[in-house]
Amino acid sequence: MAKIRRMFPGGNTASGFYSFHDNIMGPNREKFYILKGMPGGGKSSLMKEIGRRALKEGFTVEYHHCPSDPESIDGLVIQELKVGIVDGTAPHIVDPIYPGLMDRLIDLVQYIDEDILKPSKNDIIKAKRNNKKAYGKAFTYFKAAKIIYKLIEENNRDGVDFKGINREGSLLIDEIFSEKPSGSGEFFFKERHLFSNANTPEGFIDYTDSILEGVKRVIYIEGDMGTGKAEILNRLIEEGRIRDYSLEVYHNSTIPEEVETLIIKDIDTCITSNRRGHEYAYKRINLNQYFDEKIKDDKDYQTYDLLISKGIYHLSKARENHEILEKAYRLAINYDEINRVKEELAEEIFHNIK
């Protein structure tokens, strides 16, 4: 049965552009196509068309969206076929690990008409420079937001009963790992790291729903900043590693070193602090019962939200400059050749499908 999973392999974060693009496709793969190209060069459209055909055939498709343009995709995975396609162009450079075997590099730059592109040279250079400046401002605001986030956490911890939190964490670990592994097959990764949401030019975009749908057990952990959600998730990750389980780990879109969602594949269980988890949960754990909310400083929360919004504003300015680049390149690209490559890929991927 066809299924769509959506996620982000990269993020616009307090640490700058943060890439998990090497987690799109694992070593246990049949074919991995790496596209190298240019803005407006048809990479995303090519992958979307392959994705549509895969869904029509009933396969599970992962769309790995671009955090700088969530309508575009940076990668595509057809799970049952163990086939992936990725945009390997900067800033998320991906190169073949097994060239000539499972991995194939596809150079789309060769389909640029340089004579048509040359008159746009100054516009392209200026847009690139302004794009870098806008991203620099966005990342500075996200970095400032992280400082306020840590300030809120530190303040809130003074009002937390950590004995109660630790007790909840221990009980949860015992409950989760009492489930016997299903042994239901192989996974691409032993441990995979991605984002299920992102700061984008269109605002905060969250695709967590698509990774929760169909999971047998979803456990939602509710709690304010500093109440220990991430610590419990980290304890669960360590226990999963000890048991040699396959894990999918989804990180905080602004502070990537913090975990938001964990899927333990072997026991088909998800533990998440993402609010979308509330509607899918068979079990809910409210850590706020151990938190004295009177200690909260609402102005710090307002400052954090303001800094995030300022960062997103500058992402939108970066997007405006990227659109200038796309416009310039579109005039110089031979799309007939791009479409030919797409059809060749589709034939190669689906040729054994009856």
Read off the amino acid at residue 334: N
Are the C-beta atoms of residues 280 and 290 closer than 8 Å to each other?
Answer: no
Cβ count within 10 A of residue 216: 11
> Could you give the C-alpha distances from 179 to 174, 217, 264, 268, 269, in angstroms and in order?
9, 11, 11, 10, 9
Cis peptide before 39 (omega within 30 of 0): no
List the one residue out of 74, 85, 82, 81 whose CA is nearest residue 6.
74
Q: What is the pLDDT of residue 183?
A: 64
Per-residue pLDDT of the chain (354 residues; tens, 9 = 90+): 569 999 999 999 999 999 999 999 988 899 999 999 888 888 999 999 999 999 999 999 999 999 999 999 999 999 999 999 999 988 888 888 888 889 999 999 999 999 999 999 999 999 999 999 999 999 999 999 999 999 999 999 999 999 999 999 999 999 999 989 876 556 678 899 999 999 999 999 999 999 999 999 999 999 999 999 999 999 999 999 999 999 999 999 999 999 999 999 999 999 999 999 999 999 999 999 999 999 999 999 999 999 999 999 999 999 999 999 999 999 999 999 999 999 999 999 998 665
Distance CA 157, CA 296 (A): 10
Q: What's the CA gap between 318 and 321, in Å, rounded?
A: 5
Please, which residues have CB within 8 angstroms of residue 238's CB and are 6 or more apart in sequence? none
Q: Are 38 and 109 in contact (CB under 8 A)?
A: yes
pLDDT of residue 96: 84
Measured CA to CA in angstroms, residue 73 lies from 45, 105, 250, 314, 338 at distances of 8, 18, 18, 21, 17
What is the sign, positive or negative, of the torsion defined by CA atoms of 341, 342, 345, 346? negative
DSSP-derived 3-state class of residue 150: helix
pTM of the model: 0.95
DSSP codes of every residue in 259-280: EEEEEEGGGTEEEE-SGGGGGT
CA distance 223 to 204: 20
State the pLDDT at residue 91.
Answer: 82
